Structure 1
Amino acid sequence: MNSSRLLEMEKICRVCLLQKTKLTPLLGGRLADMLMELAAINIHEHDDLPKVVCDTCTSEINRWYAFMQQVRNNDSALRCIILEKQEVEKCQYPVPNNNSILEKKPKHEETFEPDKTRHSVRTSSQLTAINTKTFICDICKKELKTIHSLRRHFKIHSGEKPHKCAICNKGFVEHGNLTKHLRKHTKDKKHQCNLCGLRFYERNKLIIHIRTHTGEKPFKCKVCSRPFATPSQVNIHMKSHTGDKPYTCDICLKSFPYRGSLVIHKKIHRGERLYSCPECSKCFSQKVNLESHIRTKHTHECPFICGECNSAFPTKEQLKNHIRHHTGEKKPLKHICTVCHKQFRTSGELKIHIRTHTDERPYQCDFCGKHFRASSHMTSHRRIHTGEKRHICKYCGKAFRESSTLRIHVRIHTGERPYCCQICGANFTQRNTLNMHMKIHNNALKTTA
């Protein structure tokens, strides 16, 4: 290609390299995804290559993609038919084995052992059920219990979503999923938590939420036996053992264990922040982050309650971090400061620590103008101005601004003194009090020396 055509990159088709009058943007829709899947190429907005496709090539991409989907769907349908045929044949002609074969006995023997004969027949039918194979998806290797579940599952890969929402036109694989979705339009949150009043569209979401109150974790990791509240949490955790991160960002090369995580990550590069806070107009790429922001900064709602000490938190992540204080579990120190080499458990902790070196204080109190390194420090400081005291002692009703202050206060009622002097054995309710006490021993050592 000569230099004159290089100057007209924005006017030529990415596929046929011809200059056309009618050009369709490649990014912003499904066109780029279809082309990447068909041609196994990488496309992103910062690659300095043409970002448009002519109408002829657009039609060809749509036609070939539809053909590819048709081939996949037909292949899946054929495999389902074969599997179903094998299952029917298996039920009609069960494979005999030594445990299930009944030897024909003389009539006089049958009169003596009628119960044993009936028991043998029952065992044979049970063995047939046990020997029934699970159905495995050829694409993702997921195991399913029935042929109907496999057929339903194949729709995920084929992209078939026959059930459409009449309000927003969103498609769903199952009619039941559409019914659940419609509740979001009607605001029908009929499942309510009796403990905190939080409402949910689906009953299973309520059941999972209740476990944040009870602390129930019925699902365990098969490798390390760590318990979790949901099977999906176990699947996510298993990635920490396998290290499997098959989805890689083509811009920054960061890898993710799930495709959905990669899709969300790419919004950062595109600058896509569709969810705006109605209070302060701050924008977020995910709805869950917006909801956490509103609870943390504006409403101060704390729906996540610790089952051990009843402490309340605005986000699920804060509750998880808090529960580790009870269990004694600690995250590995993966994040290291490049200045002083101090190690931290999360990237957020490291980010705040680095500000001690740069003296950056990006958070400002809207009452007095004082600046802070962390938003949590500013939130705590603002309560001095607002007079908010939401942490209440269950013994005497006294209110406190901070949960840590309440924790120390409760020790007056319980008599707990967790800090012990290693020299004289005196016990104290606070670490600071112990430190002041230690000065007495230090001064005594100095005078004797």
Structure 2
Amino acid sequence: MTDFQTNIALEPELVPSLALDRALLRAIFDKAVEAADPMLVIPRTLPPRPLGRVVVIGAGKASARMAEAVTSVWGGCEGLILTRDGYARPAPGIRVIEAAHPVPDLRGQAGTEALFDLLKTCEPGDFVLALISGGGSALLTKPAGRISLSQEQQMTRAMLASGAPINDMNIIRKHLSLAKGGALAAACSAPMLSLIISDVPGDDMAAVACGPTVGDCSTAQEARALLELWSIPVTPEMAAVLDGPPLTCRPGADALSRVENRIVAAPSQSLLAAAELAQAEGMSVRILGDALEGEACDLARHHARMALDLQAGMRLGDAPLLLLSGGECTVTHRGKGIGGPNAEYALALAVALQGRTGVAALACDTDGVDGAADAAGAVVDALTLPRAVALSVDPERALWNHDSHSFFAALGDQVITGPTLTNVNDFRAILIRPTDGYCNFPQHSLCSI
């Protein structure tokens, strides 16, 4: 972390305690990420290596790390993995292809074709191990009908800017693709075990990476309704696919009878690991849920009110209280800022708290990338807004333009992890200590935004 004491002439007595709180929050986040490391979770769930031909496939931000874990137990394996740029890992015998995320590209499309070609070589006596994690929705790129890659890219950008929740986006994607909603598993005649790291609210296996090995209950009619609801433009090619035969496999379909799906890591497990560390450090912990959704700003305001109400009931000497939550917030974009749901949550939280002492928070994506920024998220405390004022950084403009990462970069308060090689969705932690006041700085108009 960078030195956040720069340019602080305000409330210097707060600096040592805030440095401690920031260090605690970062350690708690790191523990949550560690709990979802495939090198830990895969060996615990991996069965003995089957006899005969074994083929390992996968797609997602964590898939290469999952393959690395598999080969550490089984030894070298034949296979093909699609992962995000920068997330490749060594896995003897397994080809690892990096491609773009969250907007698909030609590398992802070519890699998906190669994956299907490999599955076509599998026979009933072979065994296929699928490694699926969040991010696979963009990496598995196989547009249906006459939909072009360019059209899929435009649709993805529109969905990401719309504020649509991940489950809605994935229903749309499933019914315009030949690689989702069970289609990957259906292309294989060999028995398959699919190990899944969940990054979706509710841990619905059919939603992780658009469920390439899982039966799908949604319909093309639902996809059409969601496209309209979120104002996503529909091209004639997309309309023709939606009007055509179903592309996904229904649960219980014969084509999926050879597949077993298992979740091996989920947000709830990471929250519990974080809670255990916090309790060992003497904190009381409340887990608010692992499936929270909605606009990042709205959730931040709600959590700020909750934190202030809880702090008002605390007495000096009480143990610190930690609020933990997971899930996936959304941002309905305005402007051209560099933001993400975690940084936007953090900025909106700081604004709503208006410099209240005794409250610090961290909001990060467990995959290490929040939105379009090379940062996992950000950390805030009572000095966030005073420091912004001292640096002439306008939080109101940043929040309005969804430019939260630029705001936190100016303050040196981004959380930079690099690729974490896993993905169990967003992680939020609010640390509350008993106190009796606010940091001394002018009130800002943002509390009304």
| TM-score after normalising by structure 1 | 0.21
Which has more strand, going by share of residues? 2
Which has more helix, going by share of residues? 1
| TM-score after normalising by structure 2 | 0.21
Structure with greater contact order relative to length (CA < 8 Å, sep ≥ 6):
2
